[in-house]
Amino acid sequence: MTRHHPQRSFASEFGRPPEAVWASPGRVNLIGEHTDYNDGFVLPLALRHRVTASAARNDTGLVRMVSGQRGRPVEADVTSLVPGGVSGWSSYAAGVLWALQEAGHRVGGVDLLVDGDVPAGAGLSSSAALECAVALAVDDLFGLGIDRTTLARLAQHAENDFVGMPCGLMDQAASLLCTRGHALFLDTRDGTTEQVPLDLDGEGLSLLVVDTRTPHRLVDGEYAARRRDCERAAAALGVPALRDVRLDGLDGMLAGLDDVVVRRRARHVVTENARVLDTVELLRAGRTREIGPLLTASHTSLRDDFEVTVPQLDVAVEAALSAGAYGARMTGGGFGGCIIALVESSQTRAVGEAVAEEFRRHGFPAPWSFPTPAAPGAEQLGVGG
């Protein structure tokens, strides 16, 4: 999403102030890509960029949704929402109301104005941030008392079955469960979490995010196809999910898969889970610089075995590494979007410029870079804001 539209405010749209404003961040994933729909491990951190939902209950039985930036208001009867009945950005908000009711919660009419500065389409989870801001708002306004892990699963359910994108749990969990100064180590099988300290500033390090500005092409179809490959691999190996395949003896296991493509997909997931665990070990021991090679190995695996990178992502990673990054990798679903690079703070600018220079040389559009701290997760910003 781009910047706030100055004319649109909750009060100007709905004629009264909101009861409160809730904010939920976008994310980057440090490591653990395409593991979340395989019952595996992920390690995301929250960005400073957030989606806000200003909200108030109404007595009309309608959800009325306005974007701070675009389009006309959208409204729908809260109790008769059906998948496919609402489209575009508002389906993410309406989907959350639908998922809450599917889970047996009673919600009434609500007015929503959503806004924010999470770039859309950059793989930084602007849609999960929107879902989670709305989920938190509705949970608070209607006193539902749902814990955040369950709320994340409900937001995921909204995206899977209302919007129709078969994503895993990572993005919603990151938006709701991340805390300042930590990466979120999440076991997507049982939902257990550990806040792993990531004091980049204190260690003189910087995590540079580079948005390649490459649109996600075919992302939905390709994403679903990867998911199916993984499910086929697990079924053929006789395990509930690829999470259950051990790194020990992996080659022998994989030899049992006839399809070489499915074999490579499985190899990515199994090795990636192991890289997450190794990364967590290093971070727990305060050996942050040493995670660099794991990040880079993750990218190589996503490029060669999982095949979800595009030339812009590969060029950005190579350029960051040549300019002295400890490690670099694509982050998020792939097929465009962003890379992250772990660099000495003093090198942040030079690495960003080196990537921009390589992009110029290749004739790619100019990338956009920014360093990110591990920012806080979703929160209520204030009452009547």
Closest Cα to residue 210, out of 376, 42, 325? 325
Q: Residue 313: exposed, middle, or buried by beta-carbon count in 10 A (0-12, 13-18, 19+)?
A: buried
Question: Which of 332, 352 has the CB closer to ligand GLA?
Answer: 332
Closest Cα to residue 321, out of 348, 346, 341? 341
Question: Which of 54, 298 has the CB closer to ligand GLA?
Answer: 298
Question: Which of 10, 306 has the CB closer to ligand GLA?
Answer: 306
- Buried b / exposed e across 111-124, counting CB within 10 Å, b at 16+? bbbbbbbbbbbbbb
DSSP secondary structure letter of residue 81? -
Shortest distance (Å) from residue 112 CB to ligand GLA: 22
* Beta strand 193-197 pairing with 44-57: unpaired
Question: Which of 90, 188 has the CB closer to ligand GLA?
Answer: 188
- The gap between the terminal CA atoms of the chain, to the nearest Å, is 20
- Amino acid in the structure at residue 64: R
> How many angstroms separate the CA atoms of 56 and 36, rounded?
34
Shortest distance (Å) from residue 217 CB to ligand GLA: 15
Shortest distance (Å) from residue 11 CB to ligand GLA: 34
The H helix count followed by the E strand count for the chain is 11, 13
Q: Please tell me which residue in 171, 211, 229, 305 is annotated as part of the active site.
A: 171
Shortest distance (Å) from residue 267 CB to ligand GLA: 16
* Binding footprint of ligand GLA on the chain (CB under 6 A): 33-34, 36-37, 167-168, 170-171, 332-333
Question: Which of 263, 329 has the CB closer to ligand GLA?
Answer: 329
Q: How far is CA 208 from CA 15, 251, 294, 372, in A?
A: 42, 35, 16, 6
Question: Which of 292, 333 has the CB closer to ligand GLA?
Answer: 333
Shortest distance (Å) from residue 348 CB to ligand GLA: 25
> How many angstroms separate the CA atoms of 209 and 119, rounded?
12
Shortest distance (Å) from residue 259 CB to ligand GLA: 21
Find tokens 């049992």 and name the residue.
256
- Judge whether 248 counts as a catalytic residue: no
Question: Active-site residue numbers?
Answer: 171
